[in-house]
Amino acid sequence: MKTKDDICETQATVSEPTRRRSLLDGGFHALAATLCCVSVVMSVGCGKRPPPPAARPNNAGEKNQVSQGGENFQWPAKMPADVPKFTFGTITGASDNIMGNVQAAYKNVPADAFDKYQSDLKGAGWTIANARQTPDGFEIDAAKGKRGVVAMFIASKNDGLKGAVTYNDHSG
């Protein structure tokens, strides 16, 4: 029968790299098993499209409004009146949520919308906090107190400049 001293002496003869390697081997096998399980779980849902976003009731009993795809979209009714209407390109969707965010999505926005919308925002009393234009698109960040408007558009392969105007209210 081995004594405590025999066991300690045996452990001392195993080199430190060997001990580390054996721990890594065990860790590797655990990682490999985890990855296999994750890939199996993910493959079960492959080829299935997620359901369209559903309207959920908010705390006041209202529903979040989500509009996607199709035609005939309009500037969101819940967009505050002091946010200038974005009149460039084609509106492709609109949404609002219980957090106070309101968004309108667009495609085929012309590059000159950058200067024109900045002017519209300034004319409505918004302060431009950031404005940047590159050949790949543009971003405008405007503020009025704790409220903000972000217009962000990037070049897409088939739809010109594509993006959204988003309003958020952080005053509450």
pLDDT digits over 125-151, tens only? 999 999 999 999 999 999 999 999 999
Q: For Cα atoms 109, 82, 88, give the angle at the middle one, nearest 5 degrees.
A: 10
Number of H helices, E strands in the chain: 3, 7
* Sign of torsion over alpha carbons 23, 29, 32, 34: negative
- In angstroms, the CA 79 to CA 60 distance is 18
Judge whether 128 and 117 are in contact, CB under 8 Å.
no
Tens of pLDDT, residue by residue over 59-116, are: 344 444 444 445 679 999 999 999 999 999 999 999 999 888 999 999 999 999 999 9
Q: How far apart are CA 117 and CA 123, in angstroms?
A: 10
Residue linked to tokens 């404005």: 131
**Domain ranges for the chain:** 4-44, 65-169
Per-residue confidence at 3, pLDDT binned at 50, 70, 90? low
Helix (H, G, I), strand (E, B) or coil at 84: coil
